Amino acid sequence: MSFKNLVDLLQKSVTRFADRPIYGERSPSGAWTYRTYRDFGTEVAHFRGGLASLGVGPGDRVAVISNNRPAWAVGAYATYSLGACYVPMYEKQNPADWEYILNDSGAKVLLAANAEIAEVVRGLAGRVKTLELVIDLSAARTDPHSFKALMETGQANPVDAEDPDPDTLCGFIYTSGTTGKPKGVLLSHGNIISNVNAVISIFDMAATDRSLSFLPWAHSFGQTCELHCGLAIGASSAICDDVTKLVGYLSEVKPTLLFSVPRIFNRIYDGLNKKMAEASPVKQKLFQGAMANANKRRQLKAQGKTNILVECAHKVFDKLVFSKVRERLGGRLRYAFSGG
């Protein structure tokens, strides 16, 4: 299945995968709770109505300062379905960058992760002439400027979704600004959807797949490959609320897909090597033998060859060594995507 735009993607996936899980969050007790695609579609519809009640429409900009969370995705797809543009930023970004990006993009509304960020940005309001409202994603429903209150407003005032042309802009993604001010990359529905259609045509990912989401959706890699492609195939994502707990969460979530940057894979690799350095001489010898045999097997495969002794050794090493490594990653990993 291919898609015309991000709104088309949302509508088809919510219909096809209505009862499937989509985004999971971890409770203080350690349990993971997932909302369904149907729930997500309803939330997007309600928030779309809420944003429309603020006057957000085609061509407007809705900015967000937040780490990955279901409300981030709700805000994105509600914005897309109004024909507006989503402008993501990072919680740990410098407030001076927030001010610059809000001004440069001409943001009308901002979604803030918490009260602290909301307060900082409200303090910038006098210097950001286009900004009309800051919405606190974490505030209680009794706060009229909260995400929950706006959802209620939208539920009472529904608005139909737009059907944007592929050339219509859907978002700006800003560079880090290491060589000057951050530069906004203007992305259209067609830009992103062409990548989504390509990825899902190449990889055999399916609705049964699950990722552990920690790669920022504010970046084009995480947003395109995990957020949008995941939605397109009906997959689910467990939201990692603390990257320092990533390894522990892997065994709980048991992901089949992992989207990361080299630094995280290096951390896992270094952790494995550190553990082996502390192991007994026998275990070290076994690990070294397993790696040497795996390298030989990979070389043969690249040449289109195989060797019965190498394959037999691999089966033994896989049971004694590699199965333990896979278990540390949750035991179900099928694809590891890396970029950076």
106 CB burial (10 A radius; 0-12, 13-18, 19+): middle
Q: Which residues is 338 bridged to in the sheet?
A: 260
Q: Check residue 53 and give its pLDDT.
A: 97
> Is pLDDT of 176 > 90?
no
Q: Which residues lie below 8 Å from residue 152, measured CB to CB, with a gap of 6+?
A: 46, 50, 141
Task: Give the pLDDT confidence score for residue 273 in this predicted structure.
Answer: 84
Contact 292, 313 (CB under 8 A): no
Asked whether residue 243 carries a pLDDT value surpassing 90, the answer given is no
- Flag whether pLDDT at 340 surpasses 80: no
CA 288, CA 12: separation in Å to the nearest integer? 49
Nearest-CA neighbor of 173 among 236, 123, 216?
216
Residues 214, 206: Cα–Cα separation, whole Å: 20
Whether the pLDDT of residue 337 is over 80: the answer is: yes
pLDDT for position 1: 79
For residues 48 and 159, the answer to whether their CB atoms sit within 8 Å is yes
Q: Considering only CA atoms, which of 189, 237, 260 is closest in space to residue 70? A: 237
Q: Is 96 helix (H, G, I), strand (E, B) or coil?
A: helix
| Chain segment 150-161, per-residue pLDDT in tens | 999 999 999 999
Q: Which of 143, 128, 95, 87 is nearest to 111 (CA)?
A: 87
- Given a contact cutoff of 8 angstroms between Cβ atoms, the answer to whether 37 and 19 are in contact is yes
**How many CB atoms within 10 Å of residue 93?**
17
The sheet carrying 85-89 orders its strands as 133-136, 109-112, 61-65, 85-89, 169-174, 184-188
For residue range 10-44, list pLDDT tens digits in order.
999 999 999 999 999 999 999 999 999 999 999 99
3-state class of 238 per DSSP? strand
Helix H, strand E, coil C: the string for 289-325 is HHHHHHHHHHHHHHCCCCCHHHHHHHHHHHHHHHHHH
On the 0-12 / 13-18 / 19+ scale of CB atoms within 10 A, 124 is: middle
Condensed to tens digits (0 to 9), the pLDDT of residues 185-222 reads 999 999 999 999 999 999 999 999 999 999 999 999 99
297 confidence band (pLDDT: 50, 70, 90): very high
> pLDDT tens digit string along 63-88?
999 999 999 999 999 999 999 999 99
Dihedral (C-alpha) 70, 329, 246, 137: value to the nearest 10 degrees? 0
- CA separation for the pair 106, 130 (Å, rounded): 6
Instruction: Using alpha carbons only, give the angle 322, 327, 329 rounded to the nearest 5 degrees.
Output: 100
pLDDT value of position 237: 98
- Would you say residue 177 has pLDDT above 80? no
pLDDT at 109: 98
pTM, two decimals, is: 0.91
Q: Return the ∠ at Cα 322 (arms to 318 and 328), rounded to 5°.
A: 145
| Spatial CA neighbour of 137 closest among 112, 118, 154, 120 | 112
The 10s digit of each residue's pLDDT in 248-270 is 899 999 999 999 988 888 888 88
CB-CB neighbours of 157 under 10 Å: 12
